[in-house]
A and B are shown apart, each in its own frame.
Chain A
């Protein structure tokens, strides 16, 4: 059974600092790895999707890497802003169809 872990559970950084968020998974036979953002009381917003054949994916200030052999993905957010404060979730898809296994999330606070 796939298990996804995100450590730390919470993170606080000053504005302008780069953010590094970690995600580890136990079964390397994934279809894709997705990163989401969740604001308090809201739904999940997709940030990046990395296919199993890819090593990284970029969108603006966000960059996500994937290392299947070590069972790890990392989300980098450059030059953090207070608006980046949210919970970030990673999820692994075992097979086509987006049956996602989620990590517990990392709650990020960017202090002005």
Chain B
């Protein structure tokens, strides 16, 4: 039972490079989201999706793009990495956006931008 899988676990980027953080879930969850966790700031919502083909911005969306072409996958794209994007990124999913259901989190991707 894989749950929410994030790849890679660690990544070092140079300023200006682009990359995609992958997130996949095998629970047929409708709702998926991305958070970043920074010391002293807690976890903050970047983008979320309530179903395939539907995405929306969270609290800190600048510098990030997302798409949701399938129920299972929700990749997060950094178009031009900046040192301020150094963080730990977590993907989460929950069963449906219309009910009280717990959120399941991936193991995180630790990203360093130099």
Contact = CB atoms under 8 A, between A and B. Distances in A.
Interface of A: 4, 31-32, 34, 36, 41-46, 49, 51, 89, 91, 96-105
B102 A96 contact: no
Contacts of B107: 42-43
A36 B104 CA distance: 10
Given A34-B102, A43-B108, A44-B105, A98 B94 contact: yes
B50 to A, nearest CB: 6
Given A34-B103, A45-B105, A97-B50, A104 B42 contact: yes
Interface residues of B, number: 27
A38 to B, nearest CB: 9
Nearest to B50: A97
Contacts of B105: 36, 43-46
Contact of A96 (B90, B97, B103): B97
B48 interface: yes
Interface of B: 4, 31, 33, 35, 40, 42-45, 48, 50, 58, 90, 92, 94, 97-108
User: Interface majority SS on B: helix, strand, loop or mixed?
Assistant: strand
A100 B92 CA distance: 10
A97 B94 CA distance: 8
A104 B39 CA distance: 9
A98 B103 contact: yes
A102 B106 CA distance: 16
Given A43-B4, A100-B35, A102-B35, 9 more contacts: A36-B105, A43-B105, A46-B104, A89-B42, A97-B50, A99-B45, A100-B33, A101-B45, A102-B44
Contact of A100 (B40, B97, B100, B103): B103
Nearest to B90: A43
A102 B42 contact: yes
B43 A89 contact: yes
A99 B106 contact: no
A27 B4 CA distance: 30
30 contacts: A31-B100, A34-B103, A36-B105, A43-B4, A43-B90, A43-B105, A43-B108, A44-B90, A44-B92, A44-B105, A46-B102, A46-B105, A49-B101, A89-B42, A89-B43, A91-B103, A96-B99, A97-B48, A98-B97, A98-B103, A99-B48, A99-B58, A100-B35, A100-B103, A101-B45, A102-B35, A102-B42, A103-B42, A104-B40, A104-B42
